[in-house]
Each structure stands twice: as structure tokens, then as C-alpha cells.
Structure 1
Amino acid sequence: MSASFQLKKSVDGQFYFSLRAADGLSVLRSETYTTLASARNGIESVRKNAGTESRYAFEKSANGKSYFNLKAANGQIIGSSPLYADPNGAKQAADTVRHHAATAPVHDA
């Protein structure tokens, strides 16, 4: 199985997506969107920006865990990674996004 986007509807009727690596683990999750079309546009923005290294902002959470935000050209966050105990985990997840987002299929869940 290759990386893929999972597009879902939350219990409150909003839409969000995640990018899952080949092993099924989430490496990026979006904010919530009010419409399905907006969520699909978010996926296209990830595809457009994922290949640009400067769009990744690596951060540390309050509890010292590492993560990254993927940003659009305007600086808006379009997706965030899970928290990782080690900065290398966040970097590996970013590499997965960088190399697979552009061609990952979308699956509606």
C-alpha cells in the first residue's frame, strides 16, 4: 500500500483529511473545513506546497515533543504532523509528505 489521503467527516459535520504513510500511520492532518470542497482544496494545497522544503516549520510542543506544520505560500498552516518523541521522527514524517503527497490518491472514508 502506498501513501494516501483519507478524507473524513467529523461528528459535528465538518471535514478534514490526513495523509497516511504506506504503513497506515498518519503523518499529516488538516484543520477542519465546513465544506467537502474546501477540504479537497486543502488537499490540493498540500500537494502544491509539500515539495518545497521552506514550507515546513519544525516546532516543539510544551511537553518537549517534536512536530511540524506545513504552510502555504501565504504562511497559513495547511497541515500538522503528530507529535514525535524525537526530532528525527518529525523529519522522517516530513520526508514522507514531501515525497508522496503530490501523487497520493484520495480515499473518502
Structure 2
Amino acid sequence: MAIGHYELKKAKNGQYYFNLKASNGEIILTSEMYVSKASAKNGIASVQTHSPHEALFELKHSTSKQPYFVLKAKNHQVIGVSEMYNSESAARNGRQSVIKNGSTSDVRDLSEPIHDSI
């Protein structure tokens, strides 16, 4: 059974963030920005720990009334945010995908440029 993965990236401002992707490559959860790579890795570890617990997800609505969800740690700090969905049922399906894929240990570090050697 295919399972998702994390992609750790560096933003243009020098900070780090990660996306959790489902097995089909769709982004299902995005982190906040972190000052250090180590902090971003800790964020991934927190999602891995907390994502199996449905009670830690909160369904919200944007100012334009689009549903989305957040995943919170047990201390109530938001550790990931979903995309905007066109219905609450689609948001619930997204939440189930995070529950299914969040515990993956597949972390792909894309934060450093790859240099080809000749």
C-alpha cells in the first residue's frame, strides 16, 4: 500500500517548512515557517506523533466560508494547516488522509540545492 511522505523545503526568506503529501502527490498538510531546519524536523516529528489522533484536528472556515482544518499538538499549538476545500465532506476526507499518511517516516529533504558533479 502506497503511503505519503514529507517534503522539507527552504523558503526564499531562508526559513524552513514542510508539506505532507499523500501517495498521489497532493499536499494534504503544510507547516508554519521555522527559523531552523532542526525546528522544522521537530515539527515533522510532532505531526507524526499527533496525526493519528482525530480529536486533535479542528475544522475551520476561512473568511470566504471555505472549510479547512488544522492539526494541533496536545498543547493546542497548531502544527499543520490544510488547503481550502469546497465542502466540509472534502475537508473531512483530507483529514482522513492526514490521519492515514501522517505517521510516515519518509522525509525527503529538499532544502539544499543539489549540485551535479562532473
Shorter chain as denominator, the TM-score bin is over 0.9
Q: Partners in 2 of 1:31 and 1:90 — Cα distance?
A: 19
Within 5 Å, give how 1:41-52 maps onto structure 2. 41-52=42-53
Aligned partners of 1:70 and 1:62: how far apart in 2? 19
Q: Which residue of structure 2 lines up, in the alignment, with residue 60 of structure 1?
A: 61
| Alpha-carbon distance in 2 for matches of 1:88, 1:80 | 17
Identity within the alignment, %: 37
Please tell me whether Structure 1 or Structure 2 has the larger radius of gyration of its CA atoms.
2
Determine the structure 1 residue equivalent to 2:24.
Answer: 23
Contact 1:2 1:104 in 2 (8 A): no
Aligned equivalent of 1:85: 86
What is the Cα deviation at residue 104 of structure 1?
Answer: 4.3
CA contact (8 A) 1:28 1:81 kept: yes
- Matched residues, number: 109
The TM-score with structure 2 as length reference comes to 0.89
Task: Please identify, of 55-64 and 99-108, the stretch whose mean Cα deviation from structure 2 is larger.
Answer: 99-108
Hey, what does 1:4 align to over in structure 2? 5
- Could you state the TM-score of these two structures normalised by the residue count of structure 1? 0.96
Q: Is the Cα contact below 8 Å between 1:49 and 1:72 reproduced in 2? A: yes
Assess if the C-alpha contact under 8 Å between 2:29 and 2:80 holds in 1: yes
Residue identity in the other structure for 1:19: L
Structure 1: state its 5+ residue gaps: none
Counterpart residue number, 2:114: none
Structure 1 residue runs of 4 or more that deviate by more than 3 Å after TM superposition: none
Root-mean-square deviation (CA, aligned residues, Å) is 0.9
